């Protein structure tokens, strides 16, 4: 089935597939997909232009109750048949508009991503920015958690979990991946091949090209499925489809998926390394004869990323849990440096292929808890700033970071240690995001206040279980 391009194509697809329900989806401010459904008779060509009204007052980070009316405008080329609903359902991703002015809503994350792409084109630097995220996740068998006035806990379980080698399972068959040794073992140690294959085939079925799927490093079902790169907005759309398919495929098998960056203590966390390249006139602008086959423009792009990483992380690593991943010792990219070899560097230059077309840079700090529209847009704005201001990243860090003497290691800057630090960095360094009206001051202020109040300060108020281990007997 070819992808629809116009409203007419969508209507023809609905007729051909005998669609019974149309599901309209959009992104809230922090980064969760939202939806509501309508019967097919409500969808005509005029609806794509005029939109459909809904109440936006309960959407996190959006309108106040006294100005709550909003419009969704479906995007034809995002259409796909939902692979999980019982009734034949067509899904359409939507842009959000103000019903009074008709203008795109400034806090709509997809609108911000579209503005970032337009800003790149208007700059004359490039025609297109390709993004390729490697989103990791955990597949668990059970998750329980609670926090109230007198208790707080979480309990994770997985038949793959190394901690279950001694559990009575009638029978316990062993073959549970060791901590930090879950990378690429064949079954029976890798018990989730069939589920990941179903996830991969379902993604392909709805039009998302997959390059590989495999078990990841951690025990207890850590996994990765890699999508083929795509332009910024399309890739952000694809990442939402990706998370939707993976979560619901796991649920079919009575399992649960999390994209939390660090659900397990003392094992590898979940990252989302993002590959990025700029193209113009079908030429890869990041390929050249410099370090690791990079162009001067690519080095300036790296310079922009490294300069703005502390503030970027407020969007690319936007949870308090993100900073439990960004610690030394778990292959985490905690060093604000670049390298073709060092995986603890924030920016790596992949050397898998000598092809000019494959030349790209890899920003390793992000994780899949992010809102992809905002994360990719912020990354692109940092890259543009680096190129326009010729911010050179200095010398690469190709030495083994763990063998560096303390005085040399002290000279290597590190990623922020907490979400609070990243939000403070964003407050101090966001002018590069405001260029081209891509991120507005209102968006920056709302993001900082929402994250501070709803997450940073909310966590600060609550006792932690480990505090009882440390302090109960003092």
Instruction: Enumerate the active-site residues.
Output: 55, 134, 136, 216, 224, 273, 343, 362, 364
Report residue 374 as tokens.
Answer: 């905002």
- The pairing of strands 222-227 and 210-215 is antiparallel
3-state secondary structure 394-417: CCCCCCCHHHCCHHHHCCCCECCC
Rounded-to-integer distance, Cα 184 and Cα 244, Å: 24
Residues in the chain: 474
Structure tokens at 263: 């659900």
DSSP strands (E only) in 31-127: 33-38, 52-55, 69-74, 80-81, 89-97
Contacts of 177 (CB under 8 A, 6+ apart): 160, 162, 185, 189, 190, 215, 218, 219, 220
The Cα 246–Cα 202 span in angstroms is: 9
List 53's β-bridge partners, or say none: 71
Quote the CA–CA distance of 85 and 88 in Å, as a whole number.
Answer: 7
CA torsion 197→200→205→207, rounded to 10°?
A: -170
Q: Decide if 270 contacts 260 (C-beta within 8 A).
A: yes
Helical H segments across 75-151, by residue range: 109-123
| Beta strands per DSSP E along 148-189 | 152-157
- Give the whole-angstrom CA distance, residue 467 versus residue 473: 11
Cα–Cα dist 422/436, whole Å: 23
User: 49-85 b/e with 16+ CB inside 10 Å = b?
Assistant: eebbebebeebebbbeeeeeebbbbbbbebbbbbbee
Local structure of 316: helix, strand or coil: helix
DSSP 189: T
- DSSP at 220: T
| Residue 140 Cα to chain centre, angstroms | 20
CA-angle at 50, arms to 46 and 114, nearest 5°:
115
The whole-angstrom separation of Cα 17 and Cα 48 is 19
3-class secondary structure, 305: helix
- Asked if 24 and 52 count as a contact pair (C-beta separation under 8 A), the reply is yes
């Amino acid at each position: 089935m070819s992808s629809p391009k116009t409203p007419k194509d969508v209507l023809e697809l609905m007729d051909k597939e005998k669609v019974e329900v149309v599901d309209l989806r959009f992104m809230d401010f922090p980064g969760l997909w939202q939806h509501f459904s309508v019967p097919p008779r409500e969808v005509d060509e005029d609806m794509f232009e005029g939109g459909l009204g809904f109440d936006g007052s309960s959407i996190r980070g959006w309108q106040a109750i006294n100005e709550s009316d909003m419009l969704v405008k479906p995007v034809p080329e995002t259409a796909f048949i939902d692979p999980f609903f019982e009734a034949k359902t067509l899904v359409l991703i939507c842009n959000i508009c103000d019903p009074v002015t008709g203008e795109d809503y400034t806090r709509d994350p997809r609108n911000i991503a579209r503005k970032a792409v337009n800003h790149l084109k208007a700059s004359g630097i490039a025609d297109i920015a390709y993004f390729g995220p490697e989103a990791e996740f955990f597949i668990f068998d059970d998750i329980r958690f609670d926090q109230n006035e007198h208790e707080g806990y979480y309990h994770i379980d997985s038949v793959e979990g190394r901690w279950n080698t001694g559990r009575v399972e009638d029978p316990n068959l062993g073959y549970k991946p060791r901590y930090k040794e879950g990378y690429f073992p064949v079954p029976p140690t890798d018990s989730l091949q069939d589920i990941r294959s179903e996830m991969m085939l379902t993604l392909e079925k709805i039009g998302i090209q997959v390059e590989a799927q495999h078990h990841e490093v951690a025990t207890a079902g850590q996994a990765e499925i890699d999508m083929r790169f795509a332009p910024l907005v399309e890739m952000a759309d694809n990442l939402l489809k990706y998370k939707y398919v993976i979560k619901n495929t796991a649920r079919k098998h009575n399992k649960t998926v999390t994209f939390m960056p660090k659900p397990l203590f003392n094992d590898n966390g979940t990252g989302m390394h993002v590959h990025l390249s700029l193209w113009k006139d079908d030429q890869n602008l990041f390929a050249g004869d410099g370090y690791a086959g990079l162009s001067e423009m690519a080095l300036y792009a790296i310079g922009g990323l490294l300069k703005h990483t502390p503030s970027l992380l407020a969007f690319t690593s936007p949870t308090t849990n993100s900073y439990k991943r960004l610690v030394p010792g778990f292959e985490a990219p905690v060093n604000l440096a670049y390298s073709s070899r060092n995986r603890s560097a924030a920016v790596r230059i992949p050397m898998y292929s000598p092809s000019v077309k494959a030349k790209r840079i890899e920003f390793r700090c992000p994780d899949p808890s992010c809102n992809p529209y905002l994360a990719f847009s912020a990354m692109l704005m940092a890259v543009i700033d680096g190129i326009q201001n010729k911010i050179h990243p200095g010398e690469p860090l190709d030495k083994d970071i763990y063998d560096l003497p303390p005085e040399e290691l002290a000279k290597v800057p590190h990623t922020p240690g907490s979400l609070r630090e990243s939000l403070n960095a964003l407050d101090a360094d966001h002018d590069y995001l405001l260029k081209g009206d891509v991120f507005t001051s209102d968006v920056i202020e709302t993001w900082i206040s929402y994250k501070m109040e709803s997450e940073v300060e909310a966590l600060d108020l609550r006792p932690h279980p480990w505090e009882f281990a440390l302090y109960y007997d003092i």
